[in-house]
Structure 1
């Protein structure tokens, strides 16, 4: 049995990078900051997200820098050869198949000011 499931909740690091292909496919790339608790502070871990087709269109239309989102997907690695050095490189990417819009930073700040806490 194999299992490759990644579930993350965090804040979007920048506006979506969206590409439309002649075939009709759509891809949206985002970065996601997820806080990792340490003894003294919360330190963000950054994840590269890749979203395709209908879910990519939703992300392109509704997700902006600072939004709180939840994603479920699978971990994959992208490989390439560095043009300058010829060294083989790689980076982890989360291929998202579920996206949940959880609210913007501004929404959560206004909730905190009114006495509600973010969980």
Structure 2
């Protein structure tokens, strides 16, 4: 038996990078910052790769600062460095499922806070 499942909840580190292919496929890449239980620790950063309809949803609705929940699997992108010829790799979470956990207002710094009353 083998198991490769990753669940993460965190904030998006930047606007998604979206690629559209001639075949009609959509690919979205973004980073996710996940806080550790201790407030003193720096967050862990994860690279996410999303395909298909979920990628299009991410392209349309996800922005820097969005609170996001994802389920996926761990994979490694591998390549050879052109300058040095050294083999390189980086871990990537291949997202199967994504949930937007914050409203648009939560991630929009220009939105008016609820309950806000302008001075008269």
TM-score under structure 1 length normalisation? 0.86
TM-score under structure 2 length normalisation? 0.85
For residues 105 and 24 of structure 1, the distance between their equivalents in structure 2, rounded to whole angstroms, comes to 27
For residues 103 and 82 of structure 2, the distance between their equivalents in structure 1, rounded to whole angstroms, comes to 38
Deviations 1:9-67 (A, max 9, x none): 000000000000000100000000000133x6142000000000000000000000000
For residues 54 and 23 of structure 2, the distance between their equivalents in structure 1, rounded to whole angstroms, comes to 16
For residues 36 and 85 of structure 1, the distance between their equivalents in structure 2, rounded to whole angstroms, comes to 35
Deviations 1:64-83 (A, max 9, x none): 00000000000000000011
Unaligned runs of 5+ in 2: none
Unaligned runs of 5+ in 1: 115-119
Give the equivalent residue in structure 2 for 1:90: 89
For residues 55 and 88 of structure 2, the distance between their equivalents in structure 1, rounded to whole angstroms, comes to 26
Larger radius of gyration: 2
Q: What's the offset of the Cα at 1:107? A: 2.1
For residues 86 and 37 of structure 2, the distance between their equivalents in structure 1, rounded to whole angstroms, comes to 34
Would you tell me which structure has more strand in proportion to its own residues?
Answer: 1
Query: Contact 2:48–2:92 (CA<8 Å) still a contact in 1?
Result: yes
Give the equivalent residue in structure 1 for 2:62: 63
- C-alpha RMSD of matched pairs (Å): 2.2
Would you tell me which structure has more helix in proportion to its own residues?
Answer: 1
- Aligned pair count reads 112
